[in-house]
A and B are shown apart, each in its own frame.
Chain A
Amino acid sequence: MNLSKQKSRNQKDSAMAGTKTNTIVTRIATYSILIIMTFLIFVPIFWMISTSLKTEAVMFDTPIELIPSDPTLESYKNLWSAYPFLTYLRNSIFVVSAATFFSVSISTIAGYGISRFKFRGRSFYMSFLLATQLFPSIMLLIPYYKTFKTLNLLDSLYGLVIVYISFTIPFCTWMMRGYFNGISRDLDQAASIDGANRIRVFRSVILPLAWPGIAATAIYAFIAGWNEYLFALVFINTTERKTVSLGIGQLIGEYRVLWNELMAAAFFALVPMVIIFIFFNRYLVDGLAAGAVKE
């Protein structure tokens, strides 16, 4: 430690002189990297939108058209007329919101418990949560199915909510634990000395500081549920209970991939996610501001 401090002191003078150019260089580097990344992200999105605006004949024509010369909304229309995508959307929003809410609530509490208390079986508990992530999920399919049949929860949106809760709890708990570990214990202790019990400390002191972590965790849980396919496929039979990911999956036929409709559906599924994400992103920023004020 001492050594490195000394070293950095020695560098101080030269650093001071070069601060201005340094900042500019850093900024140029930052923006270049971010612009390259943005480009890499938008290439497939661009191709997706471009494809969704083509007819099947144009799609398979060479030389290909990067931007369709004669764009058409046909695939979007087909999607609306042939599949009840609005119903899929409603189902997805219900299932995923409910699962996210419960999963994040339970995980936040559990994450706090692991982070703050020493109790018997604590390390076992953590390994146990971890171990649940290490088993290939395809092998969970049949036992889940049997259990849910007994509980009469097959072909039910509530059943799917439970599945998604169980899938996301381990990661969410680990993430919240990591987050709570970063919040100083002094705060708990200060509040405890004031006479507050642990639950009140948690609710009124720690929770407000934890919003960025909770928001990040919630985004994870939401996306994981939104994109889940395999269990939804096996559990849901009725068209009226299908989710968006099932709607997308059924466009991939054995004989024909309906690329343009598939891309339209993917684009369509993306929009609510982006809206929700932008909303939560503000929370991330707000959470930061709140934390800063308290400190």
Chain B
Amino acid sequence: MKSAFAKRESRSGMIFTIPAALIMLGLVVYPMLYGFFISTQKSNLIDKWEFVGAKYYIQLLTDAEFFGTLKTTAIFAACVVIGNLFVGLLLAVLVNQKIPLMNIFKVILMLPWLFPEVVVALIWKWLFSPLFGMFNYVLFSLNLIEKEVDVLGQPGTAFVGVVFVCIWKGYPIVMLMMMAGMKNIPHERYEAAAIDGANKWQQFLNVTLPGLMPVLLVASILETAWWFKHFTIVWLMTGGGPAGATELISVDIYLQAFTNFNFGRAAAESVIILFLLMVVSFIYSRVLRDESQ
């Protein structure tokens, strides 16, 4: 009972989306199915396959340590995502004003994004080094500390430290998305708000924020996915320590897969993450969609 219009719509939609779908099918779906498959196998991935069913899932879901790691990962991801969204949005709004020097700041503020994660992690680690790093040296010179501060050596400060560095590295992409998003908010809305006497803050609340909702939704979902799975910066800065304070789930996956040669368990962990993140994304889209309406 479809109208001709709907049919044409449907066909056009498919034509536009098929190229991307094909590439993703080949390159992501197959590996994911492969992941599902090996999560049920005890295998050397070459010539020895033994079906073990849900063994690894049961092992994981009855493992208190696994849940501890999940919790740390969730708190870490939440801190970084909120930090990125806050800093990114704030800076995007600031540089979007029509006042001098903003084009220069736009470039400067993007700089952290251009660094490879490896380099970001190592520069900061080097900077925080109690003996050879600039951080302690400066604090000493200013007489702010008596004894070297080992930022990455205490659980509390180490966690704050890696979150800080991850925000340092991660906010620019949010800022960029917000800047692009703001360009599509029609000027008339601001003008209308200004005529109504709204000040900058009210304009932000009533015009900018609602206008950015679609972009914010995308940003929150993807940021959550990325940081939940994050590996490099934390691995290089603290290796999950001290005493597991920064131990993330991806560190464990790496360890299981490539150190312990236990691909079944690593794959099972990945599948659990996949489902967890799907649920989170679903909740996001519900909440944010309602808010924008």
Contact = CB atoms under 8 A, between A and B. Distances in A.
Given a CB threshold of 8 Å, the question of whether A touches B is answered with: yes
A226 to B, nearest CB: 8
A292 B120 CA distance: 38
A281 B124 contact: no
A135 B111 contact: no
A134 B218 contact: no
B225 interface: yes
A182 B177 contact: no
Contacts of A178: 177, 181, 214-215, 217-218
Contacts of A76: none
Interface in A49-71: 50-51, 59-60, 62-64, 66
Given A175-B177, A181-B214, A165 B118 contact: no
B159 interface: no
A32 B103 CA distance: 16
Given A51-B126, A166-B23, A169-B24, A223 B113 contact: yes
A183 B126 contact: no
B107 interface: yes
B5 to A, nearest CB: 10
B247 to A, nearest CB: 15
B72 to A, nearest CB: 16
Contact of A38 (B34, B105, B119, B197): B105
Contacts of B31: 135, 139-140, 143-144, 147
A284 B187 CA distance: 17
Interface string A179-221: 1011110000000000000100000000000001101100110
B177 A114 contact: no
B82 interface: no
Contacts of B20: 106-107, 109-110, 129, 169, 173
A73 interface: no
A15 B168 CA distance: 36
A275 to B, nearest CB: 10
B202 interface: yes
Given A45-B111, A166-B24, A259-B126, A9 B196 contact: yes
Contact of B134 (A66, A147, A219): A66
Contacts of B78: none
Interface in A265-295: 266, 269-270, 273-274, 277-278, 281, 284-285, 287-288, 291-292, 295
A112 interface: yes
B199 A11 contact: yes
Given A175-B218, A182-B214, A117 B9 contact: yes
B17 A143 contact: no
Given A33-B94, A166-B23, A166-B24, A252 B278 contact: no
A125 B21 contact: yes
Interface in B171-196: 173, 176-177, 179-181, 183-187, 193, 196
Interface stretch (B50-58, B62-70, B237-245, B249-257): B249-257
Interface size class of B (residues with CB under 8 A): 35 or more
Main secondary structure on A side of the interface with B:
helix
A171 B174 CA distance: 12
B115 A270 contact: yes
Most buried by B among A16, A142, A170: A142
A60 B132 contact: yes
Contacts of B133: 64
B267 A47 contact: no
Given A64-B132, A129-B20, A133-B222, 17 more contacts: A11-B197, A12-B197, A41-B112, A66-B137, A110-B17, A113-B17, A119-B13, A130-B281, A131-B32, A132-B24, A134-B273, A135-B28, A143-B31, A169-B23, A245-B116, A259-B122, A277-B107
13 contacts: A11-B197, A66-B134, A106-B20, A119-B12, A128-B24, A132-B24, A132-B32, A133-B225, A136-B273, A166-B24, A220-B176, A266-B119, A266-B123
Interface of B: 6, 9-17, 19-21, 23-24, 26-32, 34-35, 45, 90-91, 94-95, 97, 99, 103, 105-120, 122-124, 126-127, 131-134, 137-138, 168, 173, 176-177, 179-181, 183-187, 193, 196-200, 202, 206, 211, 214-215, 217-218, 221-222, 225-226, 229, 231-232, 250, 253-254, 257, 263, 266-267, 269-270, 273-274, 277-278, 281
